[in-house]
Amino acid sequence: MSKKPKLLWLQSLTCNGNSHSFFNHSDLFSILSHFELIHFPLIDTKYTLEDVLNKRVNCDILIIEGSIKHGLEKCGVDIATLIDYYANEAKYIITAGTCATFGGMFKEYDSDNINGFAFDRDKAIDNFSKFRKKLISLPGCPIHPKWLSYVLLMIANKKNIPLDDKNRPQELYSITVHTGCVRNEYFEWKIDTHGFGHKEGCSFYENGCQGPFTRGSCNKILWNDVSSKTIIGTPCFGCTEPDFPKERLFFTKTNMGIPQKMPLEVPKRAYLTITGVAKSFNIKRLERKLIEYNNDN
């Protein structure tokens, strides 16, 4: 029997969101059974944190969570240097979350000195050319547990993972969050939702939904296997994108009523032509409430 790949999860500047997200995977232990777990912040292993810090362990797969800040010490160890050491060791490096991938939320604190492991927002930095052959980028704030399990199981099964130009798995990031949203019909006919949490309308025009220009599969691989932000009637914040977080996340920036940001790779002229046509019609069914609640019951 071949030896199981050794899995090491290291944290830099992080809120622990990704480890918690993965910890909630409904099949967590079945997935982990394919690996020898060296260290994961939420599960005991036969190795201690000291073993990890003192480089007494090996790893095949390194998962990095959190933004990188050179000189940042944890437990008296320069964490960036430690990550670098295991990155050289590993056969695969997975940056789990937008912080580890692009800098994310923590980069806002000290934009010049805090970055992702291989990217400074959307710009590739040294680590990208150095590790590009074994790097897998999994942005998300946090990542969906199944995005990570997809990658891990592909590795465990020695399958090739097609990646895009930022080393994101195409399976997960070649579509936008808009793909599969239950509000697509409202988007097509340009019918807005007014407020939050309603069943009707689309959040693109007022509430700042970034689904149409955010790469991710939130509406294909549902959260908790049941829903997504856009389905329940809150906007997508674009948390998988290199420029996350932006400002005024519940608000669509418009220029004279025209949304400033267009759906991914859609020219404004094309969008406006279609919009003008769609807006010219009133589709009664889409203007009605989906459910008329009867106050008596």
Partner 1 sequence: MTKKELKRESIIQASLKLFSSNGFHKTTIPDIAKVLGMSVGNLYNYFKSKDILAKEIIKYTSEILGQEIKKVNILDISSEEKIKKIVELYFKMAEEKPEMIEYFLRVYLSHREVFSDGCEGMLCVSGFVTEIMIFFDDGVERGELRDQDFFSAFGLFMGYLGGMVFLKGENILPKELHEYIDDISKNIYNALKV
Q: Give the interface with ligand SF4 as residue ranges (CB under 6 A).
A: 140-141, 177-178, 181, 183-184, 187, 202-204, 209, 211-212, 214, 216, 218, 228-230, 236-240
Site string for partner 1, 228-267 (x = CB under 8 A): --------------------------xxxxx-x-------
Distance (Å, rounded) from C-alpha 260 to C-alpha 246? 14
Find which of ligand SF4, partner 1, none residue 184 binds, CB within 5 to 8 Å per kind.
ligand SF4
272 interacts with partner 1 by CB under 8 A: yes
Q: Kindly state the smallest distance separating residue 216's Cβ from ligand SF4, in Å.
A: 4
Distance (Å, rounded) from C-alpha 181 to C-alpha 77? 44
Stretch that binds partner 1, among 3-11, 43-51, 165-173, 273-281 (CB under 8 A): 273-281
Q: Kindly state the smallest distance separating residue 103's Cβ from partner 1, in Å.
A: 26
Q: Write down how long the chain is.
A: 297
| Closest listed residue to residue 9, CA positions, set 126, 115, 138 | 138
285 interacts with partner 1 by CB under 8 A: no
Distance (Å, rounded) from C-alpha 214 to C-alpha 228? 14
Residue nearest to ligand SF4 (CB): 211
The SS3 of residue 236 is coil
Find which of partner 1, ligand SF4, none residue 116 binds, CB within 5 to 8 Å per kind.
none
Asked if 151 contacts 161 with a C-beta cutoff of 8 angstroms, the reply is yes
Q: Of residues 42, 264, 266, 277, which one binds partner 1 by CB under 8 A?
A: 277
284 interacts with partner 1 by CB under 8 A: no
Which neighbouring-strand residues pair with 258?
255
Nearer to ligand SF4 among residue 82 and residue 191 (C-beta)? 191
Find which of ligand SF4, partner 1, none residue 104 binds, CB within 5 to 8 Å per kind.
none
Q: Kindly state the smallest distance separating residue 160's Cβ from ligand SF4, in Å.
A: 25
The SS3 of residue 200 is coil
| 186: exposed, middle or buried (Cβ count in 10 Å: 0-12, 13-18, 19+) | buried
Tokens representing 34 are 């394919």
Residues ≥6 apart with Cβ < 8 Å to 297? none
273 interacts with partner 1 by CB under 8 A: yes
Cis peptide before 245 (omega within 30 of 0): yes
Q: Kindly state the smallest distance separating residue 277's Cβ from partner 1, in Å.
A: 6
- Token pair 């797969």 in the structure block, residue: 61
Pairing of the two strands 92-96 and 61-65: parallel
* Residues near partner 1, by CB under 8 A: 254-258, 260, 268-269, 272-273, 276-277, 279-281
